[in-house]
Amino acid sequence: MLVYDLMNASLVSTANHWLAAFEKALAGRDDVLLSTLFHPDSHWRDVLALTWDIRTVNGLEAVVRELKAHAGRAHPTGFRIDPHRTAPRHVTRAGTRAIEAIFQFETAEGRGNGVLRLLPDQKNGLRAWTLLTALDEIKGFEEQVGRLRPRGESYSRDFRGPNWLDLRKSAAAYVERDPVVLVVGGGQAGLSIAARLTQLQVDTLIVDREQRIGDNWRNRYHALTLHNQVQVNHLPYMPFPPNWPTYIPKDKLAGWFEAYVEGMELSYWTATEFRGGNYDEREERWSVVLHRADGTKREMRPRHIVMATGASGIPNLPDIPTLRNFGGKILHSSQYVDGEEWKGRNALVIGTGNSGHDIAQDLYSSGAKVTLVQRSPTLIVNIEPSAQLPYALYDEGPPLEDCDLINTSIPLPLARQSHRLLTEQAKKMDQDLLDALERVGFKLDFGEDGTGWQFKYLTRGGGYYFNVGCSDLIVAGEIGLVQFSDLAGFVAEGARMRTGDTLAADLVVLATGYKGQEYLVRELFGDDVAARVGPIWGFGDEQELRNMFTRTAQPGLWFIAGSFTQCRIYSKYLALQIKACEIGLLPGGANHATGAERRVKM
DSSP line for 353-365: SHHHHHHHHHHHH
Select the more confidently predicted residue: 439 or 72. Answer: 439
Residue 456 contacts residue 381 (beta carbons within 8 Å): no
DSSP letter for 470, please. H
Q: Is 12 exposed, middle or buried (0-12, 13-18, 19+ CB in 10 A)?
A: middle
3-state secondary structure of 116: strand
Q: What is the pLDDT of residues 85-144, one digit of tens each?
A: 999 999 999 999 999 999 999 999 999 999 999 999 877 689 999 999 999 999 999 998
What local confidence, expressed as pLDDT, does residue 280 receive? 96
What local confidence, expressed as pLDDT, does residue 600 receive? 41
Percentage of residues in the chain with pLDDT exceeding 70? Answer: 94
Q: 412-429 vs 452-460: helix axis angle to the nearest 10?
A: 130
Going by pLDDT thresholds of 50, 70 and 90, the confidence category of residue 312 is: low
What local confidence, expressed as pLDDT, does residue 452 receive? 94
Q: What value, to the nearest 5°, has the Cα angle with vertex 244 and ends 240 and 246?
A: 105
Going by pLDDT thresholds of 50, 70 and 90, the confidence category of residue 591 is: very low
Residue 219 contacts residue 243 (beta carbons within 8 Å): no
CA–CA dist 56, 543 (Å, integer): 6
CA–CA dist 71, 459 (Å, integer): 32
Q: CB-side exposure of 40: number of CA atoms within 13 Å?
A: 2
Mean pLDDT of 574-582: 98
Q: What is the pLDDT of residues 175-209, one digit of tens each?
A: 999 999 999 999 999 999 999 999 999 999 999 99
Gyration radius from the chain CA atoms: 26
CA–CA dist 587, 593 (Å, integer): 9
- Reference 264, options 149, 113, 341; nearest CA is 149
Q: Mention every residue, 6+ apart, whose C-beta is less than 8 A from residue 121.
A: 39, 127
What local confidence, expressed as pLDDT, does residue 315 receive? 87
DSSP code per residue over 298-358: EEE--SEEEE-S-SEEEE-----GGGGG--SEEEEGGG---SGGGTTSEEEEE--SHHHHH
Going by pLDDT thresholds of 50, 70 and 90, the confidence category of residue 594 is: very low
Going through 236-295 in order, the beta strands assigned E by DSSP cover 267-269, 272-280, 285-292
Type of residue numbered 437: L
CA–CA dist 423, 387 (Å, integer): 9
3-class DSSP string for 536-565: CCCECCCCCECCCCCCCCCCCEEECCCCHH
Residue 372 contacts residue 481 (beta carbons within 8 Å): yes
Select the more confidently predicted residue: 504 or 314. Answer: 504
Going by pLDDT thresholds of 50, 70 and 90, the confidence category of residue 1 is: very low
Residue 474 contacts residue 352 (beta carbons within 8 Å): no
What local confidence, expressed as pLDDT, does residue 462 receive? 86
Residue 4 has pLDDT above 50, yes or no: no
Chain-centre distance of CA 594, in angstroms?
A: 34
> What are the structural domains of the chain?
11-138 (3.10.450.50), 167-313+515-598 (3.50.50.60), 318-512 (3.50.50.60)
Give 286's strand partners: 279
pTM of the model: 0.92
What local confidence, expressed as pLDDT, does residue 601 receive? 37
Question: For residue 49, what are the CA distances in angstroms to 111, 113, 145, 471, 576?
Answer: 8, 9, 21, 46, 11
Going by pLDDT thresholds of 50, 70 and 90, the confidence category of residue 157 is: low
Type of residue numbered 70: H
Going by pLDDT thresholds of 50, 70 and 90, the confidence category of residue 507 is: very high
Backbone phi, then psi, for 300, in 5-degree steps?
A: -135, 155
DSSP code per residue over 25-63: HHHTT-HHHHHHHEEEEEEEEEEBTTTSSEEEEESHHHH
What local confidence, expressed as pLDDT, does residue 222 receive? 83
Percentage of residues in the chain with pLDDT exceeding 90? Answer: 81
Going by pLDDT thresholds of 50, 70 and 90, the confidence category of residue 407 is: very high
Mean pLDDT score of the chain: 92
CA–CA dist 314, 326 (Å, integer): 23
Q: What is the pLDDT of residues 20-47, one digit of tens each?
A: 999 999 999 888 999 999 999 999 999 9
CA–CA dist 30, 14 (Å, integer): 21
Q: What is the pLDDT of residues 347-363, one digit of tens each?
A: 999 999 999 999 999 99
CA–CA dist 93, 415 (Å, integer): 9
What local confidence, expressed as pLDDT, does residue 177 receive? 95
